[in-house]
């Protein structure tokens, strides 16, 4: 143990690789937990990252039009299931505020309330800002989301406190992450379904009565996400659409390059058999914190 402690203070210990090597030795000697070692490495990694490295690009941002009706906004919030949304006026470059999903309850209770009065101020950060400085700013101002702008002042994307923390502690489990025993297909009130990317193809075919469409090639894939990525030729990103027979798959949520959730809309399939097939599937009403 003392030799490991001595290694940390060696004059020759000048690079991050050397520090990481000592941390691995400490883990092997059971002086620190593997998760502690990973977090320490994550802290060192964050020191070298910029906002542009973790942000969600503008093409994948979920935004709300201030001119939309309450019903349109409510449906969008339910479908996407975030807790915070940039709000724009006239065009998407003109972001005028941040709407918290929970504030829609105030609008529902008082329909005469102006949506603009519910908007929170927008935090703008340059894409070149370091993650260390951004995390410090989030903590000081108690913000969870910032709009990222490029060197020309245009909207480049959005970044959340979760994006930063995940670089340190790894993927953060949220309401979209369920245990295997909790199910993989959830019936929604609008007659669509939330389907986990890890769901077996056979399970999908059985639930939607499409068993006869499972080919021999499809049987070599374990999950619906894996097969769809193969068919599309790339891992789909949020918002991309894939059609299979009478099912429309829309990517809802991805983590570390893996599709976690699809929203599935039956096109020509009668809903009654589906409801019977999925009668035990719970309705998922949770929203993902941002």
Check residue 57 and give its pLDDT. 85
Do 169 and 39 form a contact (C-beta atoms < 8 A)?
yes
Check residue 287 and give its pLDDT. 36
Check residue 191 and give its pLDDT. 80
Check residue 181 and give its pLDDT. 42
Quick check: pTM over 0.75? Answer: no
For 176, the 3-state DSSP assignment is: coil
Check residue 111 and give its pLDDT. 75
Q: What is the pLDDT of residues 25-77, one digit of tens each?
A: 877 877 777 777 777 877 777 788 889 888 888 887 889 999 998 888 888 88
Check residue 183 and give its pLDDT. 52
The CA distances from residue 26 to 13, 168, 169, in Å, are: 15, 19, 19
The Cα 21–Cα 13 span in angstroms is 10
Write the CB contacts of 155 (distance below 8 Å, at least 6 apart in sequence): 58, 61, 92, 93, 95, 147, 148, 149
For 149, the 3-state DSSP assignment is: strand
Q: What are phi and psi of 100, to 5 degrees?
A: -90, 135
Q: Name the H helices within 129-240.
A: 131-141, 161-169, 201-207, 224-232
The Cα 110–Cα 115 span in angstroms is 10
Write the CB contacts of 20 (distance below 8 Å, at least 6 apart in sequence): 41, 44
**Which regions of the chain are under pLDDT 70?**
1-14, 170-183, 189, 255-257, 268-290
Check residue 281 and give its pLDDT. 42
The CA distances from residue 55 to 155, 167, 262, in Å, are: 11, 12, 21
Check residue 182 and give its pLDDT. 42
Check residue 279 and give its pLDDT. 38
The Cα 238–Cα 290 span in angstroms is 15
Residue 86: beta bridge partners? 98
| Domains of the chain (ranges, CATH numbers) | 13-48 (no CATH), 52-169 (3.10.580.10), 181-277 (3.30.465.10)
């Amino acid at each position: 143990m003392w030799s490991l402690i001595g290694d940390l203070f060696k004059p020759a210990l000048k690079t991050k690789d050397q520090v990481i090597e000592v941390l691995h030795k400490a883990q092997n000697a059971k002086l620190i937990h593997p998760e502690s070692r990973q977090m320490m490495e994550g802290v060192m990694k964050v020191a070298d990252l910029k906002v542009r490295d973790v942000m969600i690009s503008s093409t994948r941002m979920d935004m709300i039009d201030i001119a939309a009706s309450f019903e349109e906004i409510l449906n969008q919030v339910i479908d996407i299931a975030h807790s915070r949304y940039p709000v724009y006026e006239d065009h998407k470059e003109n972001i005028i505020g941040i709407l918290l999903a929970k504030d829609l309850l105030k609008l529902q209770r008082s329909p005469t309330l102006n949506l603009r009065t519910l908007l929170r101020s927008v935090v703008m950060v340059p894409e070149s800002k370091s993650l260390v400085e951004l995390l410090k700013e989030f903590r000081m101002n108690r913000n969870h989301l910032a709009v990222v702008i490029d060197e020309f002042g245009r909207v480049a994307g959005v970044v959340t406190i979760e994006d930063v923390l995940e670089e340190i502690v790894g993927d953060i489990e949220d309401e979209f992450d369920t245990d295997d025993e909790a199910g993989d297909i959830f019936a929604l009130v609008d007659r669509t379904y939330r389907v986990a990317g890890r769901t077996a193809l056979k399970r999908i075919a059985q639930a939607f009565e499409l068993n006869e469409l499972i080919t021999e090639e499809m049987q070599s894939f374990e999950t619906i996400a894996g097969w769809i990525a193969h068919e599309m030729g790339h891992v789909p990103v949020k918002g991309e659409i894939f059609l299979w027979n009478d099912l429309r798959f829309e990517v809802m949520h991805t983590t570390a390059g893996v599709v976690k959730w699809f929203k599935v809309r039956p096109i020509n399939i009668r809903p009654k058999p589906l409801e019977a097939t999925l009668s035990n599937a719970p309705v998922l009403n949770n929203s993902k914190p941002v």
